[in-house]
């Protein structure tokens, strides 16, 4: 049966190497892995199961592929091999798996990466666009990426030429964090001229991929990885995208995942802005600066500046009660008062103090939201 691995700190059996092992098996994707876990209780048991039992959970071709890989792979050496290459990985079983990405319909079972993934990286915005960037597109990308990075947002993009590369570089230049999602394994940086950029990214973020580390870049890989770019992000900003741009594939994924879509407008008739102008017409939010993006997101899930302010702000019992019932959605002052079991005048006074403290925003017409949307 092989060696069953146990976490030394908890005594709990870990499936970590088996996530990686199954990642190497053709025809075994996220849905098949979910069925295997449900059927066998663990991936370790599924890996060693007899073919007749496997057929109850996965198709015949996947069973045959698994039998072949079991003869090739030494599961117990997989994690050490990755560590020796400077490659980390995170699985859907791990608490460190990116919070936003876990929410999408079919999150990648395993992510390989160089660098580090932080809890705060859920405060992320993707920036995508054309590879043939103009001087206007470059200026807007730098302005927006740097503004978002300086506000504490992690910039997510695809390391491609043009807008992607400029966005990563802009975030790095102001000391911000950035994540590059590859259409290849992490051992194959593409394009080659971005190898130095990728190295810098690993020092202030991460270079990640759901492909096994030695997978070479291939055209079909790139549209597929776009679901991860949007999945890691609260919203997607499109800067200079022609009508048939790969960036618009990311927009489609973002819409399916319930992410906000933003676009920088271009001149009417400008070829490289046709896609941006089109999606603005279709409902994407028009943005001119990082502040436009932040203003739209601040009442939803971003905790921009909330934590340090709350730590410094002395809150009374009733103020904490008011703050506790607020969320990222606008609530009328009378509803807040009812939920907090306080009078409306009392709540009004507490809201003033909370607004001064920067943890509450007046959304107009006596509606208030909690900055960061927590409640």
DSSP, residue by residue, 290-337: HHHHHHHHTTTT--TTHHHHHHHS---HHHHHHHHH--SS-EEHHHHH
Task: Dump pLDDT digits (tens) for 332-347.
Answer: 888 888 888 888 878 8
Average pLDDT, the chain: 85
DSSP annotation of 162: T
The tens digit of pLDDT for each residue in 94-130 reads: 989 999 999 988 899 999 999 999 988 999 999 999 9
Using CA atoms, how far apart are residues 62 and 58, in angstroms rounded to an integer?
Answer: 6
Contact of 181 with 201, CB cutoff 8 Å: no
CATH architecture of 115-297: 3-Layer(aba) Sandwich (3.40)
Reported confidence tier of residue 299, pLDDT bands at 50, 70, 90: low
Instruction: Tell me if domain 115-297 and domain 306-370 are identical in fold.
Output: no
> What count of Cα atoms within 13 Å lies in the side-chain half-sphere of residue 34?
9
| CATH class for the region spanning 306-370 | mainly alpha
The CA distance from 352 to 359, in Å, is 10
Residue-range domain boundaries for the chain: 16-84, 115-297, 306-370
pLDDT digits (tens, 9 = 90+) for 36-80: 999 999 999 999 999 999 999 999 999 999 999 999 999 989 988
Would you give the DSSP letter of residue 364? E
């Amino acid at each position: 049966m092989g060696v069953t691995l146990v976490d030394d700190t908890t005594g709990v059996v870990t499936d970590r190497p088996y996530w990686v092992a199954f990642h190497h098996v053709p025809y075994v994707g996220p849905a098949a892995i979910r069925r295997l876990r449900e059927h066998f209780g663990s991936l370790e048991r599924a890996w060693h199961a007899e073919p007749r039992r496997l057929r109850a959970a996965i198709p015949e071709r996947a069973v045959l592929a698994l039998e072949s890989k079991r003869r090739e792979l030494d599961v117990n050496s997989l994690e050490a091999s990755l560590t020796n290459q400077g490659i980390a990985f995170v699985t859907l079983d791990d608490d460190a798996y990116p919070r936003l990405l876990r929410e999408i319909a079919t999150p990648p079972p395993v992510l390989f990466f160089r660098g580090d993934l932080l809890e705060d990286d859920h405060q992320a915005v993707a920036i995508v666009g054309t590879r043939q960037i103009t001087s206007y597109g470059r200026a807007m990308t730098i302005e927006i990426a740097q503004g978002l990075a300086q506000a504490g947002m992690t910039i997510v993009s695809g390391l491609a030429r043009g807008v992607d590369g400029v966005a990563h570089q802009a975030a790095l230049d102001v000391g911000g964090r950035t994540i590059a999602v590859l259409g290849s394994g992490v051992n194959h940086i593409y394009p080659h001229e971005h190898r130095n950029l990728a190295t810098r990214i690993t020092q202030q973020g991460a270079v990640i991929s759901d492909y096994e580390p030695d997978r070479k870049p291939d055209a079909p890989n790139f549209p597929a990885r776009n679901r991860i770019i949007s999945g890691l992000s609260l919203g997607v900003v499109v800067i200079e995208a022609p009508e048939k741009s790969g960036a618009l594939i990311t927009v489609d994924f973002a819409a399916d995942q319930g992410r906000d879509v933003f676009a920088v407008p271009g001149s009417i008739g400008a070829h490289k802005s046709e896609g941006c102008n089109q999606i603005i017409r279709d409902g994407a939010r028009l943005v001119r600066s990082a502040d436009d993006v932040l203003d739209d997101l601040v009442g939803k899930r971003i905790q921009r500046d909330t934590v340090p302010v709350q730590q410094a702000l002395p809150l009374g019992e009733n103020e904490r009660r008011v703050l506790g019932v607020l969320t990222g959605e606008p609530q009328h002052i009378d509803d807040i008062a009812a939920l907090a079991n306080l009078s409306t005048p009392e709540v009004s006074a507490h809201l003033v103090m909370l607004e001064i403290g920067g943890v509450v925003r007046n959304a107009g017409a006596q509606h208030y939201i909690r900055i960061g949307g927590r409640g």
